[in-house]
Each structure stands twice: as structure tokens, then as C-alpha cells.
Amino acid sequence: MTSKLILLRHGESEWNNKHLFCGWVDVGLTSKGQQQAVQAANLISQNGLSPDLMFTSKLTRSCETADIISKSLGRMWMDVIRSWRLNERHYGALQGRKKSDVVAEVGKEKYMYWRRAYEGCPPLMNDEDEALLIDDRYKYADVPIEDLPRGESLKMVLERVRPFWETNIKSELLKNKTVLIVAHGSVVRSLIKIISTISDRDIEQINIPNGVPLVYEFDEKLGKIGDYYYLDPDAAEAGAKEVANQGLEKN
């Protein structure tokens, strides 16, 4: 018996389209993002995959993508578990800023350090701004609201994702289930780093496209069978290149 883990970054959001740092700011999908969610469901179905349950973040763009996929697959009855631990990386004071403007202000080297380096943490959001982002959905988080992030590196994201992986996700995979996680670029990168034991340096080069599912397969002891693969490699390659170049495009 084998289990399968499907990882998916949500469809294009309104702020992805504008090349703004989004993080914990709650924005919806564009029409393109909604279409990407439908296409992701089609890829899942065409490859003979039938998710038994789904995990998402607490952010609308993840939840909306998950809902579209559930409906498209005819599996609206599927259990969905939502957790702040699967939220996008908190981009601190960069949230809401255009990426190219940040490059112009601080230079490419610092921009790339904040954005891609494993331990690169952007400037933290101040307390007044943070109040705009902490709402009722976080009242029942497993940590006090005052301990929720105000800015994170990828390393910090991984540190909050790992306990959820160990406690909530692995236990379902050990039951030989097919698990779908609809989350965010930094969360997918964190899970790839955990599962594939990728080095701190190499994870900097991995970019996650919107709306293209990737799959891990495991044996009955949760040993990884091969490495992950995308269900549409060409779309994944094109989308990853677009993500890598954000903020660096020539005007």
C-alpha cells in the first residue's frame, strides 16, 4: 500500500497579479486564479488521484482554491482542516508593497536575501499595522495571538509548519490516504525541504508556481518513493520562472 501527498500553491491572487508582497493580508483569487484551481482539479482527476481529505491555511485565497477543487472533483463531502500554521510566510513591513519598488529602494541583493534566503527575515510589521491582520479566525490558534508572527524568514515558516506535519499530516498518510494540501509558496517550499531534506542553500532556488499540483508517494512506513513530481511539468516550469523573476522585470 502507498499513500500520496498532493501539494498545491493556491491559484493566482489579486496581489500576485499586481506583484505585491501579500503574506497574511487576506485577498481573493483573480479569475485566472479560479481557472487555475479548476485546472488543478482536472489534473488531479486525470491522474487517477482521489483525495481523502484536505488541509488549507486560514487565508481566503487558499480556502477559495480548495473549495473550487472540492466542487470540481465532486468531493464536497471531503473533510477540510484549516490551520494558521499553513498560512503564507508573514512578510512583515513589506506586506502591501510592490516588489519592484522594494528592489529600487534597497537593491537587488537585500531584496533577494529577504525574499529567497532561508534565514532572510524582512523588517517586522509594527504593532499598529498588525492589529489590522489579526481577526477572529486566529482567536482559537494553538498559540496566544500576541505570539503570532509579525514577520518571518522561510526558516521561521518551516519551524511552525513542522509540528503540524509531524502531528496532523503524517498520521493521515500512515493510514494510506491521499492527502491534498492547498497552501502557499513558502509553505510548499517548507514541506519540500522537510520531506526531501533539501539544504538551506538549495531551497533558495526552488520556486513554486500558482495552481500546479505536485505529488509525493510514500510506502507503508512513510518512506519516500522517488522524489516529488508535477502533474504538469511544463506549466510548473513556466510558472516557477515567473515567480523567480518577480520584482526584477525590466520596466
- Tens of pLDDT, residue by residue over 42-67, are 999 999 999 999 999 999 999 999 99
The answer to whether residue 88 is catalytic is: yes
> Which residue among 64, 88, 152, 204 is the active-site one?
88
- Tens of pLDDT, residue by residue over 83-125, are 999 999 999 999 999 999 999 999 999 999 999 999 999 999 8
The answer to whether residue 10 is catalytic is: yes
Contact 203, 192 (CB under 8 A): yes
Residue 79 three-state SS: strand
pLDDT above 90 covers a percentage of the chain that reads 87
137 marked as binding residue: no
74 marked as binding residue: no
89 marked as binding residue: yes
pLDDT score for 134: 66
> Which residue among 10, 152, 184, 204 is the active-site one?
10
* Mean pLDDT over the full length of the chain: 94
Class of domain 3-245: alpha beta
**Which set of grid coordinates corresponds to residue 102?**
522594494
Rg (CA), the chain: 17
105 marked as binding residue: no
Q: Consecutive 10-residue runs of the chain (251 residues): their mean pLDDT?
A: 95 96 95 98 98 97 98 97 96 95 96 96 82 67 82 98 98 97 98 97 97 98 96 98 88 47
Q: What is the pTM of this model?
A: 0.95
